[in-house]
Amino acid sequence: MTGGCSIVWFRRDLRVEDNPALAAGVRSGKVIALFIWAPEEEGHYYPGRVSRWWLKQSLSLLDSSLKNLGTSLITKRSSDSVLSLLDVIKSTGATQLFFNHLYDPISLVRDHRVKEILTENGIAVRSFNADLLYEPWEVLNDEGRPFITFTSFWDRCLSMPYDPEPPQLPPKRIISGYCLLNSDIYCL
């Protein structure tokens, strides 16, 4: 088992196009594409039947897209995403984790915990804006607070000193960072 591969943690961003976490993972070398289904972490927002159907279809399409690029999607069922990430890191020797931001309160707490625990374990963790023109903490009023009206917010967006990132093309190829042996994951 050799280290040095990176985990790209897919969550609600089930796409290869315009995905900054995936692009960063590809730039870093070998990639382990990972989705962890931990619905208990969603609190009162446990997904219903239609949401689960949509998720299954979306994961299938993502896996197909990834296979066309050279890798596959690993899916794990868990009640604790952090522990699952640590298990995959231990199994693979991965040294980096990339993921895209989520902004709901439950995800913010979990993502902070992920960054804190993985960093303590020597894993480089980077997260990216993949859904918004600007991060919420970048578009503030003159007092440094969030806007309360859309018009004021939009006017500030239009006058930002830099343009939002342009959409990214999907990678041309992904170097797979794993193989499966007896249900365990190993870096190549």
Tens of pLDDT, residues 109-147:
999 999 999 999 999 999 999 988 888 889 999 999 999
Q: Which residues pair with 34 in a beta bridge?
A: 9, 74
Q: Please state the separation of Cα 7 from the chain's center in Å.
A: 9
Which secondary-structure segment (H or E) carries 9? strand 6-10
Residue 178 pLDDT level (bands cut at 50, 70, 90): low
Q: Which fold has domain 6-129+168-186?
A: Rossmann fold (3.40.50)
For the chain, give every domain's residue range. Answer: 6-129+168-186, 133-164
CB 177 within 8 A of CB 187: yes
| Residue indicated by tokens 């990639």 | 31
Task: State the pLDDT confidence band at 185, using cuts at 50, 70 and 90.
Answer: low
Arithmetic mean of pLDDT, 31-60: 89
Q: What is residue 122's three-state secondary structure? A: coil
Strand order, beta sheet including 31-37 = 73-77, 31-37, 6-10, 96-100, 124-128
Average predicted confidence (pLDDT) for the chain: 89
Q: Which residue has the higher pLDDT, 96 or 104?
A: 96
Tokens encoding 56: 């299954």
